[in-house]
Amino acid sequence: MKKIGVFTSGGDAPGMNACIRAVVRSAAFHEVEVMGIKRGYQGMIDDEFINLQKSDVANIIQNGGTFLKTARSKEFMTPEGRQKAYQNIQKHGIEGLVCIGGNGTYTGAGIFYEEFGIPSIGAPGTIDNDLYGTDYTIGFDTAVNTALDAIDKIRDTADAHNRIFFIEVMGRDSGFIALNAGIAGGSEGILLPEVMNDYEALKSHFADDKRRTKEFSIVIVAEGETEGKTYQLAERFKADFPECDLRVTVLGHVQRGGRPTANDRILASLLGNAAVEQLLAGKTNLCVGVINHALALVSFQEAINSKKTIDASLWQLSKVLSY
């Protein structure tokens, strides 16, 4: 290959810029040209291509978000939209793609290859950490630390007023942020979409006479919790424990922003380099990841269709530590 493209798609995640930087620098090392595609698949359709040199990615490793921007493209879901994207790829002489994103990004790349034969390698960029084939995704560590910083601050006011706080963290259909931030933040309860009847377990915990008496408590709720939204669960808890002084805080999109941690910068750099090397080696329809500190490769299909589960030992630890 003499020219490749790189783009970010779907939700942004801290560390995406570090990954783009690694793609550009790795490609330059192999004397391969790189074009950045702005706004993901929509930019591919709208012909938003820019040449990227090594100097273009200087001083971005520390920035959150993605300087190539990102978008979710309904037009790319249509055959006509993908035809426009292919014509632009051909016009710019791009022979392969590095796509940074999540399930939707991988799905689009797989369909694009089936229809037009454009090879792609994916790098997992999502704060949710819910992609199969890697222990950690780009942005997850930063999101956990951002949530933890907020939890620590809320603990101060919870302590001052002897209150119980229900704190909602992001995670859509996964509880990875909630579980990790909950343990690190010393929470007394964690509600996850992966665990059935976890509200009843929380209720039993607070009703237990043997439970250590505390003047305040923190309960972490994943936004995808299946037993109800955070405000609904808080109202339910208030009905069960009317004597408690309870507040709800939804952290929201603050968890997507901010400077990426060292872990995310290193992970993003490793995966960006690996994506280029796999593409130049003739591989396609694969996503790069890290499992047990070693580079791992899985197919787009496997990454999309396989379910990544939370660490059962961490879940058990959270119950032990909150007792």
The pLDDT tens digits of the residues spanning 260-316 come to: 999 999 999 999 999 999 999 999 999 999 999 999 999 999 999 999 999 999 999
pLDDT score, position 225: 87
How would you class 222 by CB atoms within 10 Å of its CB: exposed for 0-12, middle for 13-18, buried for 19 or more? buried
> Strands (DSSP E) along 108-188, which ranges?
120-124, 164-169
pLDDT score, position 209: 81
3-state DSSP call for residue 59? coil
Name the pLDDT band for 190 (thresholds 50, 70, 90).
very high
Phi, psi of 164 (to 5 degrees): -105, 130
Could you give the residue range(s) of every CATH 3.40.50.460 domain in the chain? 142-257
pLDDT score, position 158: 94
* Catalytic residue status for 128: yes
Out of 128, 130, 141, 198, pick the active-site residue.
Answer: 128
> Strands (DSSP E) along the chain, which ranges?
3-8, 33-37, 49-52, 97-101, 120-124, 164-169, 189-191, 217-222, 246-250, 286-291, 294-299
pLDDT score, position 134: 98
Q: Over 90: is that where the pLDDT of 36 sits?
A: yes
CA distance 112 to 124: 18
pLDDT score, position 224: 87
Which range is least confidently modeled, 128-132, 168-172, 247-251? 168-172
pLDDT score, position 7: 98
Q: End-to-end distance of the chain based on CA atoms, in angstroms? A: 58
Provide mean pLDDT across the span 172-198: 93
Over pLDDT 70: what percentage of the chain?
A: 100
Provide mean pLDDT across the span 242-258: 95
Q: Could you tell me which CATH class the domain 142-257 is placed in? A: alpha beta
Provide mean pLDDT across the span 104-116: 96
* Assigned CATH for 3-139+260-305: 3.40.50.450
pTM of the model: 0.95
pLDDT tens by residue, 56-109: 999 999 999 999 999 989 999 999 999 999 999 999 999 999 999 999 999 999
Over pLDDT 90: what percentage of the chain?
A: 92
Could you give the residue range(s) of every CATH 3.40.50.450 domain in the chain? 3-139+260-305
pLDDT tens by residue, 3-14: 999 999 999 999
pLDDT tens by residue, 278-293: 999 999 999 999 999 9
Average pLDDT of the chain, as a whole number: 95
